[in-house]
Amino acid sequence: MFRFPQQGATPLAMAHLKALIFDVDGTLADTERDGHRIAFNKAFAAAGLDWEWDIPLYGQLLAVAGGKERIRYYLECFRPDWPRPQNLDALIADLHKAKTRYYTELLAAGAIPLRPGVKRLLTEAREAGLRLAIATTTTPANVTALLENALAPDGVSWFEIIAAGDVVPAKKPAPDIYFYTLEKMRLSPQECLAFEDSANGIQAATASHLATIITITDYTKDHDFRDAALVLDCLGEPDYPFQVLRGEVGWTTYVDVPLLRSLHQQWTSTLSQG
């Protein structure tokens, strides 16, 4: 179990924003419906299985984080009739590997773009000297494929830490992946902001004491985001304004570094007063 960084290491009144930590699926790109779901179905068909995850069903399956865990949940809750082979664990692992291969092919074909404002904000953050990290339940191969194909050929190098997949034993909503990331970066949570899109994500970030910005998707728009610092439909662009669903942003119409610094200052001020 990863230890939570000591709160006393950086007094709240002295905390400055130093890093941004991003989820991947649904946050950097809307990968779930038209990416992972399609790749899962391709893997099932190639294995000769009669499983088909349509859009509504996949929305229910997203309650479980992690691809291998999602397959097992599907069998337990939706296919109790399907006879289990003795090598079920190996079958699930093989299906997940095949799914990752199909998903990578979709990314290479340019089928999954970044969400509005993501590349611009990452670029601005780097120029402002903010450190970048990823904390996700998806596999390292999926992260690499997305960054190289949708962000930049050297997109992986934009991030100081990429905490992905099975690097920690418990996946979101457990906070382990954030504890791991903070520990590796030698930062306290009050020096960072997290970006998420789902209930599992906000629960993990909140348990890590991270202020969190949410950008919803069609699958997560009805999730409980009461603990978020800000809830938006997307990060926005100068010519594509965001919609604020919860929180205050003043006159700003897209997320930029000054807005992040302002949100962070408000958050640390609120904590120090509480």
| Residues annotated as catalytic (active site), given as ranges | 23, 25
Q: How far apart are CA 28 and CA 114, in angstroms?
A: 6
Q: How far apart are CA 154 and CA 255, in angstroms?
A: 23
Q: How far apart are CA 172 and CA 161, in angstroms?
A: 17
CA quadruple 97, 32, 43, 152: dihedral positive or negative?
negative
Q: Which residue has the tokens 């997290």?
A: 194
Category of 193 on φ-ψ map: left (φ > 0), alpha (ψ -120 to 50) or beta:
beta
Measured CA distances, 78 to 51, 61, 68, 234 (Å): 10, 10, 15, 32
Name the H helices within 169-227: 176-185, 199-207
User: Edge-to-edge, what's the strand order for the sheet holding 230-232?
Assistant: 161-163, 131-135, 19-22, 192-196, 211-215, 230-232, 244-246
**Spatial CB neighbours of 106, under 8 Å, sequence gap ≥ 6:** 35, 38, 39, 112
